[in-house]
Structure 1
Amino acid sequence: MSMKEKDRKKIGTLCCVVGAVCWGVSGTCSEALFRSYEIDTSWVTAIRMSVTGILLLGWTAARKKGTLTAMVKDKKTAVQLLLFALAGLLLCQYTYLAAIKSSNSGTATVLQNLSIVLIAIFICITTRTLPKKKQTVSILLALIGVWLIATKGSFTSLELSGPGLFWGFGAAAGAASYSLLSRNPVSKWGSLPVTGFGMLIGGLVFFLITRSWYLPTGLDGYASLLLAIIVFVGTLGAFTLFVQGVSMVGPVTAALLACLEPLTAALLSAVWLGSVFTAAELIGFACILSTVFLLSREI
């Protein structure tokens, strides 16, 4: 490997690491926001998606003139973008925030990582093939991990709330849907304009449905700071950095480095917000995160 290629790998790794950490920080800031203020997840989802979409499309328009117009005129792309926005990004963003509100950022982020298992199952079903050994082991590890997180090792009671578990699975389904629905348009147009349109469409739809132009009462400077971190650090910055990193180190390495997101969220949630994780939960986290290592080369 040449020195230039080594430098490229180092920069790409750094981008993935910083991007994943930014996502983890954003998740904990969301948890702090929901703990301190009476704010609906719908409003936060609409704001973060709309602002991010506008900024990404503005950046694309400045760098690649004509791309956005061409995407809108392409009917097939328009349909793909609509599905990606509503069944992918919007579902992913809303369920993730709802999972944080119902549990904590560490648990929500780990449960979201079940998406890689759902994608593996989806591929097996659509290709009509039986799961490989790694896939079978990963599914079993995921089930064990979810059971440990939900029950904390108890055989008689559910420790994680029903809504927390429901939205956690929803976050995993949303992340899987987002990944699968993005493949075709991203391969044709690139990730930034596709994500920009997806964010803007999903954000505006939710903005109108939830009438998010009304500001929640009681917001102060601290709330504004948390929102700014969620939007600019955890959505715009994290995505831009991580996508750049993927292009430089490849999807396999990027998927492994993305494990820093739940680890960051869990650590910050414990240190900053006082969340307590039992030994059973930590083992459950490890079981779910291990599926990323097993499946990263299978998908």
Structure 2
Amino acid sequence: MQKPRIKGIGLAMMGPLLWGISGTIAQFLFTSKNVSADWLVSVRMLVSGLLLVLFGLITGAKASFAVWHNRVDALKLIFFSFVGMAASQYTYFKAIEFGNAATATILQFLSPAVIIIYLMFRTRKLPRRIDVISLIMALSGTVLLVTHGRLTTLAIPLQGLLWGLGTAVTASIYTLLPGKLLRKYGSIPIVGWSMLIGGISFSCFYQIWTDMPAFSWQTYSGVAFVVIFGTMLAYLFYLQSLSYIQPTTASVLGSFEPLSATILSILLLGISFGLPETIGGILILGTVGLQSWAAMQNKIPAS
């Protein structure tokens, strides 16, 4: 295996790993330190967005502001900042607040199934066989995950389930919406500006300075980790990996996010994860691998 590919795989694993750890830390802050999801999302986007924009300015100032020189693209960026970036961040952390980090992160990986359904209606074509298999896997996995195998009862709060499903929808929007902007301007300016815009808009509706958590080293160390390692560095690592490996490979390695969140939730937060929900999680994550495999097969020229 070539060194650049090894580097790419390492970066693609490290980004989701940090996302998963930050989700577990967020759950600790919600349950033990009286931090609200609204406050954490606002701070996370505002500070991380500012840091990413500054990073972009240091590495290439002209590229960082290029999107604002095109009125149409600037409007697209602002739209994405609200319905893509801010919405995906908010639904994810609310799913953790009302449920737990492990379940919220796995439900987020239902996004390929949501995309399949969206494209089916948009193109007015029946899904491929592999897409039907993916949908069945995703549905079965979700049922097992949220019922723990007891089909007549929910094993997580209804609000946690609804926010988790919302996370899958907003993650799909986040994936589909900014493609042209990312290809034209690069990932760091688009992610940085969208986070900063989302953070500023949240601060207008939810004034973070009026609801500051009580000071403790644990609380603000956790917040710092979520902001710096779990957001800024995680995005940079993952996006940088795409320079060395294919997006399909990176998407499969994204399963390190729910894996790390689940293991840490079990070890540190006492979340129970039995056989039914484990099988459910594997089925949901399996849809990512299946869709990635299908994408790679489509790129192979016919002999």
TM-score surpassing 0.5? yes
> Which among 104, 118, 121 is matched to residue 122 of structure 1?
118
Which stretch shows the higher mean deviation, 188-197 or 219-228? 219-228
1:178 counterpart letter in structure 2: Y
1:27 equivalenced with 2:12 (yes/no): no
Match of 1:71 in 2: 67
Deviation per CA, 1:162-185: give whole Å up to 9, x if none. 101001011111111111112110
Deviation per CA, 1:195-220: give whole Å up to 9, x if none. 01100001100011111122424231
Match of 1:260 in 2: 256
Is the CA contact 1:106–1:265 (under 8 Å) kept in the aligned structure 2? yes
1:175 equivalenced with 2:205 (yes/no): no
Normalising by structure 1, what TM-score?
A: 0.96
Displacement of 1:66 in angstroms is 2.0
Displacement of 1:124 in angstroms is 2.1
Is the CA contact 1:149–1:160 (under 8 Å) kept in the aligned structure 2? no
- Find the aligned partners of 1:213 and 1:66 in 2 and give their Cα distance: 33
Match of 1:221 in 2: 217
- Find the aligned partners of 2:146 and 2:269 in 1 and give their Cα distance: 20
SS at match of 2:169: helix
Displacement of 1:68 in angstroms is 3.2
Match of 2:228 in 1: 232
Match of 1:202 in 2: 198
SS at match of 2:149: coil
Pairwise mapping of residues 79-94 of structure 1 onto structure 2 (< 5 A)? 79-94=75-90
1:289 equivalenced with 2:285 (yes/no): yes
Q: What root-mean-square deviation, in Å, do the aligned CA atoms of Structure 1 and Structure 2 show?
A: 1.3
Deviation per CA, 1:51-97: give whole Å up to 9, x if none. 11111111111221222332112111111111211000101101100
Pairwise mapping of residues 40-51 of structure 1 onto structure 2 (< 5 A)? 40-51=36-47
- Find the aligned partners of 1:55 and 1:20 in 2 and give their Cα distance: 19
* Structure 2 spans left out of the alignment, 5+ residues: 296-303
Is the CA contact 1:115–1:176 (under 8 Å) kept in the aligned structure 2? yes
Is the CA contact 1:16–1:257 (under 8 Å) kept in the aligned structure 2? yes
1:277 counterpart letter in structure 2: F
Is the CA contact 2:66–2:185 (under 8 Å) kept in the aligned structure 1? no
Same amino acid, percent of matched pairs: 35
Match of 1:133 in 2: 129
